[in-house]
Amino acid sequence: MASEEELETWERLDALASANDAQGLEAYVDAIGPSEAFRALLRLDSEARERVLTTLSPEEAADLIEEIPEEHAADFMEDLTVDEAASILNEMESDEQADVLAKMEPDDAEAILSKMEPEEAADARRLMPHGRDTAGGLMVTEFLSYFEKDPVREVIEDLRGREELESSQDVHAYVVSATDRLIGMIDLRDLVLARQDAPVADILVQTPFVSADTTLEALDSFFQRNPRAQVPVVDFRHKLLGVVRRRDVLDAVSERAELDYLKTQGIVGGDEIRTLPVLVRSRRRLSWLSVNILLNIAAASVIAAYEDTLKSVIALAVFLPIVSDMSGCSGNQAVAVSIRELSLGITKPFEVFRVWMQEMKVGLINGLVLGVLLGVAAMIWKGNPWLGLVVGGALAMNTVIAVSIGGVVPLLLRRFKFDPAVASGPVLTTITDMCGFFLVLSMASAVLSRLQGL
């Protein structure tokens, strides 16, 4: 029998759960961390995974589930009984509850909500309709608020023993009217200087706020301008709904950037992992690759049109992929910048001309430098300056074309309601390949007599 040290992580989890050793299991999960625990859970079958999650206390299981991507967390919850899933979700923060429930089948989510504590279920129901990348979808409903007429003495009494305040570095509470309309904010440290019988309205200060439909881009911009840990969220009646925390916005921005990158690489689902069903993974990838093969055939048709030139100057075959690849790299840099600026709200879809002019300047400089380097290399290799002029000039011009396309295509796609992260790559690749092949072969055809025999 293998010793504990020889067991794989997932085997150790299952062994502790099978022995009903809750204390040992919780200590082991804490020791390996959420990332390794997630990896281990994926290696277990659904029965063993259920055993692990239910052996953990609901609080510990909730802490683990909160660190797992929502789609996979939802799958894990659906493998549990309704009561087991409800007990774990009750211990999660409201925004995480809503995100996980929103990823479930509607019937499963409703069944779990019916078993959750009424207050927790109500909070989750309020958050679920909001978009994931809006203030309403990112906010939490756990916050401190007091009525404007509450005396300072009662507020201080209420705060005594609140464990969540012990490690907080930004301790604030909000002041609301009798109808829950946001009035202002109080710094809890100011309470010790206030008269005990004074209403909290006497020490409140004004606070900025956002609406529930405020976008992720606007939230990111807000926190860049304001060194705050959180901002309150209100509805159209100015009723206080929740708070959005800076750290949640930063996490959401990071997740979007990662998702956009995966999309540009053809992982259309964005959050693919290898434990997903094979057919699901295959379908997600083929949706991009099948289009890409057609686009590549279109680019290759340019080479076919100049077959005689290529036969006459075989050396050109060496430089065609170099011109295409280098231009594509330059274009992808421009795509990445445009997608990031669109995500952060720095650039708007209608600013095509401004972006194009900025990329043209970079493209002219980089194209000239890269063209000279490749041209010199070609001339030294074959001892023919005309070959250097052809491939160097083609690379220089194609670099300008590539960065222009890479800069403006994401804006145009967003303007016409397409996802720029998915579509920009294939469009850029096809056009830069076609233009690169055309420029090299057409310029070579124009000076063919000076390239014969290379």
Q: Is residue 163's pLDDT more than 90?
A: no
- Residue 382's nearest CA partner among 303, 307, 314 is 314
Give the pLDDT score at 2: 47
The alpha helices in 226-271, defined as continuous H runs, are: 246-264
The alpha helices in 82-182, defined as continuous H runs, are: 82-89, 94-102, 106-115, 118-127, 135-138, 152-159
Percentage of residues in the chain with pLDDT exceeding 70? Answer: 87
Residue 346, burial from CB neighbour count under 10 angstroms (0-12, 13-18, 19+): middle
Work out the pLDDT band at 1, boundaries 50, 70, 90.
Answer: very low
Give yes or no for a contact between 319 and 389, defined as CB atoms under 8 angstroms apart.
no
Give the pLDDT score at 54: 93
| Domains recognised in the chain with CATH numbers | 4-129 (1.25.60.10), 145-259 (3.10.580.10), 278-450 (1.10.357.20)
Greatest CA separation for the chain: 99
Residue 93, burial from CB neighbour count under 10 angstroms (0-12, 13-18, 19+): middle
CA angle 157, 119, 87 (to 5 degrees): 110
Give yes or no for a contact between 104 and 112, defined as CB atoms under 8 angstroms apart.
yes
Rounded CA separation 62/52 (Å): 12
Which tokens is 49 given? 């995974």
Give yes or no for a contact between 219 and 138, defined as CB atoms under 8 angstroms apart.
yes
Work out the pLDDT band at 435, boundaries 50, 70, 90.
Answer: very high
> Helix, strand, or coil here: 454?
coil
- Residue 328's nearest CA partner among 414, 401, 429, 453 is 429
What is the end-to-end Cα distance of the chain in Å, rounded?
A: 69
Tell me the C-alpha to C-alpha distance, in Å, between residue 265 and each of 79, 281, 421: 31, 14, 9
Residue 95, burial from CB neighbour count under 10 angstroms (0-12, 13-18, 19+): buried
Compute the CA torsion angle 252, 257, 263, 269 (nearest 10 deg): -20
Q: Is residue 367's pLDDT more than 60?
A: yes
Specify the DSSP element, H or E, that contains 183.
strand 182-187
Choose between 316 and 131: higher pLDDT. Answer: 316
Give the pLDDT score at 232: 94
Q: Which residues of 40-64 are buried (b: 16+ CB within 10 A; e: fewer)?
A: bbbebeeebbbbbbbbbbbebbbbb
Give yes or no for a contact between 441 and 380, defined as CB atoms under 8 angstroms apart.
no
* Eight-state DSSP code of residue 206: -
Contacts 24+ apart (CB under 8 A), 276-280: none
Please, what is the average pLDDT of the chain? 85
Give the pLDDT score at 369: 96
Read off the pLDDT of each residue in 184-197 and give the average, rounded to a whole number: 82
Residue 370, burial from CB neighbour count under 10 angstroms (0-12, 13-18, 19+): buried
What is the per-residue pLDDT across 422-433, written as a single tens digit (0 to 9) for each?
667 777 888 888
Work out the pLDDT band at 3, boundaries 50, 70, 90.
Answer: very low
Least confident of 130-139, 352-361, 366-375: 130-139
Work out the pLDDT band at 362, boundaries 50, 70, 90.
Answer: very high
Rounded CA separation 283/267 (Å): 10
Q: Is residue 262's pLDDT more than 60?
A: no
- Residue 20's nearest CA partner among 51, 49, 65 is 51
Which tokens is 118 given? 């009424």
Whether the CA torsion 113, 253, 417, 70 is positive or negative: it is: negative
